Structure 1
Amino acid sequence: MSDGVILKLGGSILTDKSADCAINRESLATIAAAVAEAGTEGIVIIHGAGSCGHPEAKRYHLDVGAARGKTDGIYVTHRAVSGLNDAVVAALRKKGVAAAGVHPFHVAVADNGRLLSFECRHLEKMLALGMVPVIHGDVVMDLSRGACIVSGDQLVRYLAAALQIRRVGLATDVPGVLDEGRVVPEITRHTIASLHIGDSKHTDVTGGMRGKIDELLGLADAGIGSDIFHVSRVADFLSGSAHGGTIVRGE
């Protein structure tokens, strides 16, 4: 598949990160309507965990791993992020999108915190059938640590390359990457060092905005650019129109 699109929905636009798994259903409905109106051919949706996963992962120290006999955090965290995924899928299906949830916990393996493998053949078949896979940041088994958190941003980097996708968009609660309050129109490895990019002020075990940029720069190194924009501009991104956000490119 080479003409597809990955749309990544940040956890901050799907949940209230200051509360315990408070899903923003109004935002979900608006996003689902924009996706349905744009058409869903070749779209893969990936979403973050927001407050439905980050607090649990932090509480059980899954950012450092899991040990034999201390695995409750794996179940609790996966249950939390799966619940959010169910809500995203339900909102999309209500608007007529043929969405179906895909859980990394079932199909991915990591090593030392980095995604090592992800079964993609079923994703290719889903897309061929006109379905929209909806994937999420999740806890997965880790060969070195026992378990780890694989973020939605890490999934974007891996799956864009694996599925040979050329258009990647990240919808956030800000109009793009901000440097001292101003949107940075373009980021490359050459320009990143001069920027002042803050981390998330909420509980986030995956690195906040800086972690997001690091993943996207890795993707840019592979020749795949990405766009970061405000959630209100989802329709613009999907239609190929200007979105007023940030573009991450290779050199």
Structure 2
Amino acid sequence: MHNQVMLKLGGSVITDKAGNDVIDRQQLAAIAAALKESEFSGYLVHGAGSCGHPEAHRYRLDQGADRSNAVGIGITHRAVSGLNRAVVEALQNEGIDAIGVHLLDSCLADDGRLVSAPVELLQRLTALGITPVLHGDVVLDRSRGACIVSGDQVISVLAPQLSVGRVGLATDVPGVLSDGQVVRTITPSDVAGLSIGASSTVDVTGGMQGKIRELLALAGAGVESHIFAVSRLQDFLHQRDHGGTVVRMA
């Protein structure tokens, strides 16, 4: 269904990334209300923020896993799953039928990239009017033992397979910033000329630079994406100018 939307909530939007497992429940409630008002239909993805990044970093899961650090898989997954439950509960409190879908349970990676995902399961959920809520997670990896798969990779891999019509990323900044200014459009030919800073907090998935790499891959698959401030969520949902960045091929 090409009228469906895939929306990603940045980890920094729904948690305090400078804290430790600090969920912004007031923000979640406001987002859920906006989604209800707009009659949101599609797939929701969220980042980990302070509920997962510190744990993954502590156990070096971004570098892989073996018996020496495998205990970190469960600890990291527990942190991100707790955040996922909070997102799902916020949606359900607004009357949105939502179910959490965990990558650790349903996906496999190889050398840091997803090679299998529950596409049919997700399609069947939305066909029933249920909103699947996916998230960045630790995933078992054929080559590395385990790896961290960001919410941005989830989008770049799954959006084309699910044939979604629009992709949006709600963040804590107004768009992609280069030298303090919002870059309104990014194409593959623009990247070399951009000056994009790294995240100031622990981020094992590459921060804004990692996000852009994933979204350029998505653009290459024929799907453009929108990056905007969470305060402009309603503008994106109602297809108005959100003042942010559009990532596309040309």
Q: What TM-score does the superposition give when structure 2 sets the normalisation length?
A: 0.98
Supply the distance in 2 between the matched residues of 1:90 and 1:160 (Cα, whole angstroms).
Answer: 24
- Once the two structures are superposed, what CA deviation does each residue of 1:172-205 show, in whole Å capped at 9, x if it has no partner? 0000001111111000011111010111110000
- Once the two structures are superposed, what CA deviation does each residue of 1:152-183 show, in whole Å capped at 9, x if it has no partner? 00000011011011200000000000111111
Q: Partner of 1:39 in structure 2?
A: 39
Q: Partner of 1:244 in structure 2?
A: 243
**Shift of residue 223 of structure 1?**
1.0
Aligned runs of 1:85-164 on 2, under 5 Å?
85-164=84-163
Counterpart residue type for residue 24 of structure 1: D
Supply the distance in 2 between the matched residues of 1:11 and 1:54 (Cα, whole angstroms).
Answer: 9
- The 8 Å contact of residues 60 and 69 in structure 2, kept in 1 or not, is answered as no
Q: Secondary structure in 1 aligned to 2:196?
A: coil
Supply the distance in 1 between the matched residues of 2:124 and 2:18 (Cα, whole angstroms).
Answer: 38
**Shift of residue 69 of structure 1?**
5.3
Q: Partner of 1:65 in structure 2?
A: 64
Q: Partner of 1:232 in structure 2?
A: 231
Q: How many residues align?
A: 250
Aligned runs of 1:189-208 on 2, under 5 Å?
189-208=188-207
Supply the distance in 2 between the matched residues of 1:87 and 1:47 (Cα, whole angstroms).
Answer: 11
Supply the distance in 2 between the matched residues of 1:222 and 1:111 (Cα, whole angstroms).
Answer: 20
Supply the distance in 2 between the matched residues of 1:155 and 1:115 (Cα, whole angstroms).
Answer: 8
Supply the distance in 2 between the matched residues of 1:224 and 1:166 (Cα, whole angstroms).
Answer: 8
- Once the two structures are superposed, what CA deviation does each residue of 1:31-78 show, in whole Å capped at 9, x if it has no partner? 11100100023x200000000000000000000111135311000000
- The 8 Å contact of residues 166 and 225 in structure 1, kept in 2 or not, is answered as no
Supply the distance in 2 between the matched residues of 1:80 and 1:22 (Cα, whole angstroms).
Answer: 10
Supply the distance in 1 between the matched residues of 2:199 and 2:116 (Cα, whole angstroms).
Answer: 28
Q: Percent identity?
A: 58
Regions of 4+ moved over 2 Å: none
CA RMSD of aligned residues (A): 0.8
The gaps in structure 2 that reach 5 residues or longer are none
Counterpart residue type for residue 97 of structure 1: I
- Once the two structures are superposed, what CA deviation does each residue of 1:99-155 show, in whole Å capped at 9, x if it has no partner? 110001111000011111101111111100011000000001000000000000000
* 2:24 aligned with 1:24: yes
- Once the two structures are superposed, what CA deviation does each residue of 1:72-107 show, in whole Å capped at 9, x if it has no partner? 100000000000000000011111111110001111
Counterpart residue type for residue 19 of structure 2: A
Which segment drifts farther, 67-76 or 28-37?
67-76
Counterpart residue type for residue 189 of structure 1: P
**Shift of residue 3 of structure 1?**
2.2
